[in-house]
Structure 1
Amino acid sequence: MESSLSFDQARTAALNEVHAAVAAVFPAGYKLADDFVPQLPCTDVSDRPTGQVHASVSFWVDSIDRTRNNAYFDALARWWTDNGWKLEVDDRPKDLFMNARRDDYLMGMQATPEGRLNIGVDSPCAWPDGTPESKS
């Protein structure tokens, strides 16, 4: 097996992507509230743990006008297109949910029934320190 990004590098990259997206999509004054996501283990095709983990980050977007949620989704879709992301799912108007992928990172945004928005990114699988664990 070859080395990959470390967990910390993957998490930093995921955070950078979220911050770039929200800065482009939401008007000044928005606030991000951390929506804790535990470190998620990666599994192989047989659903066995590989020793790698996904770095996931997720935030609630507060201090925005929730009546403009559709416009925020449209702006995020444009930002994705302009920044090399490929839209995978857009469940609007049934559900306010969509996601896109770039370089094995998956970014998604969804709204609760009350209109609160959550945006997050999952990284590709990464070894905790960037190299496979030895099998000694």
Structure 2
Amino acid sequence: MNTRNHILLPIAALTMALASCATEADRTGDTIDRHQAEERVEEHLQNSTGAFAEDITLENAGAVNTPPCDDARSGVPEGLVQVSKGYRLRDLPHEDNGENVRVLIEHWESNGYAVREDARGETNFVSVEHEDDGFVLSLRESVQGTVTLRAASPCIWPEGTPD
């Protein structure tokens, strides 16, 4: 992956996250709370890994993260957070990564997810959004062939309300 992609991919991911934040908060006022978002993130991750025929090991790719969504440029209200978590998918043969990504995309598309970005040929990155709840999932293959699956909530109020 070239240096330009190292810079542009995180910017694209942040832009997608902030767009989801504004939509959820503007649409409902109240949101699910942090605990509910953590549960839904895990449900999305588990549902996704069920697409693989092989037994795989899920290795935490860091703790549950709750970065703030507020950004003066986007107009997102202060106090909203996004809940995210990821797993490295172990026990998948690296030489089968292309086929496994294809299988996962088919699974997502048949389970209410819409592809937001498909950069398999360039950076081995795919991003989808669940059409009902706005949760975003992404799959990235490292240079070493390790596949990481992440899920992120739309922006939420930690307690479910802005108060």
TM-score normalised by structure 1 residue count: 0.89
Instruction: State the 1:105 CA deviation.
Output: 1.0
Task: Provide the residue aligned with 1:66 in structure 2.
Answer: 94
Q: Structure 1: which 4+ aligned runs deviate by more than 6 Å?
A: none
Task: Provide the residue aligned with 2:119 in structure 1.
Answer: 91
Question: Residue 51 of structure 1 aligns to a residue in which SS?
Answer: coil
**Gap runs ≥5 in structure 1:** none
Structure with bigger strand share is 1
Question: Residue 67 of structure 1 aligns to a residue in which SS?
Answer: helix
| Counterpart selection for 1:118 from 141, 144, 148 | 148
Task: Provide the residue aligned with 2:60 in structure 1.
Answer: 34
Cα RMSD after superposing both structures: 1.7
Task: Provide the residue aligned with 1:55 in structure 2.
Answer: 83
* Partner Cα separation in structure 1 for residue 141 and residue 53 of structure 2: 14
Contact conserved, 1:26 with 1:64, CA < 8 A, in 2? no
Task: Provide the residue aligned with 1:23 in structure 2.
Answer: 50
Mapped pair 1:7 → 2:67: no
Instruction: State the 1:63 CA deviation.
Output: 1.6
Instruction: State the 1:64 CA deviation.
Output: 1.6
Q: Deviations over 1:58-108 (max 9, x none)?
A: 111112211100011101110111001000111122221101111321100
* Partner Cα separation in structure 1 for residue 53 and residue 151 of structure 2: 17
**Gap runs ≥5 in structure 2:** 1-27
State the one-letter code of the partner of 1:6. Answer: D
Mapped pair 1:77 → 2:105: yes
* Partner Cα separation in structure 2 for residue 89 and residue 2 of structure 1: 28
How many aligned residue pairs are there?
132
How many percent identity over aligned positions? 23
